[in-house]
Amino acid sequence: MSQHYLHRHLTPAVGEAQEQAYGQKSYGVPDAPEPDRLGAKEIAFISARDSFYLASLTEAGAPYIQHRGGPVGFLRVLDERTLGFADYGGNRQLLTTGHLRGDPRLALFLMDYPNRRRLKLDGTAEVVPLDADPDLRSQLSLQNSGAGELERLFRIELDGFDWNCPQFITPRFTALEVEHAVRPLRQRIADLEAELLRFQSSAEDRDPAAGN
């Protein structure tokens, strides 16, 4: 369930905005002191992603968002309240890494464009040095990823999550998804071309003049 997420975000100010816009609050959420826990649906969704958006805060409270990508499943579900991923060498800015030193709170936004689904998660993150937790490093390291040199690990303790509605999500497809979708069409074309060649060959056998 996502009651904790909704309880955190449907604040009095949000209720005031709803009342001003619509004349009443959309809905109320009962007190939910315990963090949300991922279920089978959420775990399967997270494990199938090859990218996500990550938001953090600067020391001054300014929001910052970045995109993270990798092989399917690089964002690992460690348990029903914990996620993790390996951080490889990039542009050397370390913006998110630095922000989390001052404020460990972050938000993740996971998209499934082909199926028009999206999952939002709140949590707190810990940046883990490579030699601090060998077991975590083993769990998160990517094999033959081509991602470069592994530099650090991220462990995220989840506070809450919520599913968004599919409205206004434009379906988009990766090259791999397009290849998977068109593979049967390509096979069908190849079968029809082979059948056409067999038909032409058979016609020429029956009427040698047909090939002239």
Strand partners, 121: 108, 161
Domain ranges in the chain are 35-164, 175-211
Is pLDDT larger for residue 211 or for residue 184? 184
Q: Is 51 left (phi over 0), alpha (psi -120 to 50) or beta?
A: beta
DSSP notation for 9-71? HS-HHHHHHHHHHHSS-S-------SPP---HHHHHHHHT-SEEEEEEE-TT--EEEEEEE-S
Given this model, what pLDDT does residue 177 score?
87
Contact 68, 52 (CB under 8 A): yes
Q: Where are the alpha helices (DSSP H) in 23-60?
A: 40-47
Mean pLDDT of 24-53: 87
pLDDT band at 32 (very low <50, low <70, confident <90, very high): confident
pLDDT at position 24, please? 87
Please state, in angstroms and rounded to a whole number, the distance separating the CA atoms of residues 185 and 170: 24
Calpha distance 53→106 (Å, rounded): 10
Looking at residue 209, what is its pLDDT?
61
What confidence tens digit (pLDDT) does each residue in 148-204 have?
A: 788 999 999 999 999 988 888 999 988 888 998 899 999 999 999 999 998 888 887
CATH 2.30.110.10 at 35-164, yes or no: yes
Contact indicator for 80, 71 with CB cutoff of 8 Å:
no
User: CB–CB of 88/149 below 8 Å?
Assistant: yes
Residues 6+ apart with CB under 8 A from 32: 3, 4, 6, 7
**pLDDT mean over 2-17:** 87
Among candidate residues 26, 10, 9, 6, the one with its CA nearest the CA of residue 18 = 26
H helix or E strand, kind and range, residue 97: helix 95-102
d(CA 69, CA 201): 51
